Amino acid sequence: MEPVVLFRKEGHVAIFTLNRPKAMNAVSAEVSTMFEKHMDAFEADDSLWVGIINSSHPKVFCAGADLKSISAGGNIATAKGGFAGLVNYPRTKPLIACVDGFALAGGCEIVLACDLVVASSKAMFGVPEVKRSLIAAAGGLFRLPQQLPKNIAMELILTGDRLPCEKMLQFGFVNTMTDPGTEATMAAAMDLANRITVNAPLAVFEAKACVDEFTTRGQDLADMKRSGKGMAMLSRTPDYKEGPRAFIEKRAPVWTAQKAPPRKQKSKL
């Protein structure tokens, strides 16, 4: 079997390819572990200055978390990188998301974790977690409002609906829109990467570090912790089990809105 995440070098550019096509690149524990391993190699290699994340699936960038793993109680995050081994990773080098298809739920959150986005006209973005009694706890709840007008971000978060690339381009979420097709999107992503790699790498890294510190990085860990707290609360409700179960059984979910029971207080004796 091929690795679920491929990694190769092209000059000063590292190319990560999500490679679980039969599962629409759904993020499993194996995907997260392997992605983090490749991120470690990327960060440790002084000859690699920019990374590109793309997909081997012709229609899907990433469909998000593997709901079968979630339903079975599996852990699909790593200690260092978090979801997909990426969204929380303490990286210093720029990443470009190269999207030619659907980037939904955790797939959209992988895109949000990147610094730049190249997408084709058939790309679609969304965080449909609320449709399964989940929340976009891997960065979507705070990174979407950082990168989009708040009311547009709220529309995506609360409806679970998706927006096409053209709209996301208008809102500044996408840097470059291309014709459909992997070749077109990868060519544009490589062009953008090469425009970066002609510059002094240490200056690029320091510029990125400053922007991260000035805008988001200082708050990201606290925001991620709060998102995780929300997901932990939902995980104790009946609807949390019903959402993934309905998805697996290919039926409409039946919501109860029954709240999580209060946690038992630990005895001080």
* Catalytic positions, written as ranges: 109, 129
Is 228:220 a contact under the CB 8 Å cutoff? Answer: no
Q: What is the three-state SS of 156-219?
A: HHHHCCEEEHHHHHHCCCCCEEECCCHHHHHHHHHHHHHHHHCCCHHHHHHHHHHHHHHHCHHH
Side chain identity at residue 28, one-letter code = S
